[in-house]
Structure formats: C-alpha cells, structure tokens
Amino acid sequence: MADNIDRTDRAPTTVFNVPNQLTALRLVLSVVLFVFISFGFYMTSTVLFVIAASTDWLDGHYARKYGQVTTLGRILDPFADKVIICGTFIFLAAEPAMIGAWFGVKAWMVVVIVGRELLVTALRSFIEQRGSDFSAKMAGKLKMVLQCITAGTALFCLAYTDPGAPTDYSDVPTWSLWLLAGSLWSAVALTVYSGVQYILAAVKAVRR
C-alpha cells in the first residue's frame, strides 16, 4: 500500500519534469509572442522569440543529459516547435513590410513550411504506430535552426520599418536584410529537402 502511494505521488513529478516544463513555457511564450507581433511590438517580439526558441535546445539537452525523456515530452516538444515556427511565419507573411520586399517572407513559402510540418507529423505517427523508428534527421534539425534564424531576423528587421511606409527599408541594417534573405531561402530549400528525406524514409519503412 505504502509503495503504491509513493509511486503515485512521484508520477506527476516524473511526467511533468523540467524539460516538459520548459516546453510548456515555450507554448505560453508563443501565445504572448503572437500578441506582441499583432500589435507591432517587433523588437519585444524578437527578444521573446529568441527566448522561446532557446528553450527548445535547453529542454532537449536537459532531457538527454539527465535521462528525463518522456512520452509526453516526445509529443509536446515537436508540437510546441510547430506552433511557434508556423505561427510566427504566418504572422510574418501577413505583414505589409514583408509582402512587397525582395527579402520578405512570402505566402507560398509559409505554405511550403507548414505543409511540410503537417506531412512529417502524419508520417511519423503512421510509421511509429507500425513499430519503426522515425526519429529526426540532421537535415530536419538544421532546417529548424535556419527557420529560427529567419523568423528572429525578420522580426528584428520589422522593428526598423515605419508602419506608415512599409516599403521604406532605409533604416533597416543592411546586414540584417542579407541575413534574412540568405537564411529564408536556405530554410525553404532545406525544408523541401528534409521533407523528401522523410517521405523516402517512410516508403522504406512501409516496404519493410
């Protein structure tokens, strides 16, 4: 009886451990971030995005180092990643300063990014239900890094634009424009490439 009570008392702590708490914090920060973006507080949004994105690396590192990988974490962590990345890109594609800019986030790019995430999520669920491994590949991890750089840089650039003149980029630091353009196109290319990798892996897993 005492042993059962003790295990029951420890269960919530084991499931909702530090990595999962950080993941939950990332979800909360995502909501706050979207509110600040919608009101045009771009520099604050940049800081919030950097903090939220940093928790992704931190919770994964902590979970692996201290052996606190849980089923909840495996589900919640990628979900939080998709919320903050896809949500931020959707907001960016709706910004006037991004629509007409040569360096801006375009709607079709967001469709590619969101579509890839939905496809990989569906494939992972299908393959893992069949007992096969469908863990993240290096291309997928690098894609996430580039997407974070793109989103953070885009918010930083927007902080220097005038809402009354969304096509005036004279005050935006030149280095940030080139960083945004380079990371954006690289992220889109790697998003497509990693998506194809996952599709091929899923085909192989089904054939086996």
Taking the model in full, what pTM does it have?
A: 0.84
Question: Tens digit of pLDDT for each residue in 32-66?
Answer: 999 999 999 999 999 999 999 888 777 666 666 66
- The token pair that represents 120 in the structure block: 């990989």
Task: Give residues with Cβ within 8 angstroms of 152, minimum separation 6.
Answer: 46, 49, 50, 53
CATH number, residue 137: 1.20.120.1760
Question: Tens digit of pLDDT for each residue in 86-141?
Answer: 999 999 999 988 887 888 899 999 999 999 999 988 887 777 777 666 666 788 88
Q: Which structural domain range is residue 142 located in?
A: 2-207
Give which of 87, 105, 194 is closest to 143, Cα–Cα. 194
Report how many domains make up the chain.
1
Of the two residues 167 and 4, the one the predictor is more confident about is: 167
pLDDT of residue 7: 42
Please check the confidence at residue 1 and state whether its pLDDT lies above 60: no
Query: Which residue is associated with the tokens 């239900």?
Result: 129
Question: Tens digit of pLDDT for each residue in 151-173?
Answer: 999 999 999 988 767 677 888 99
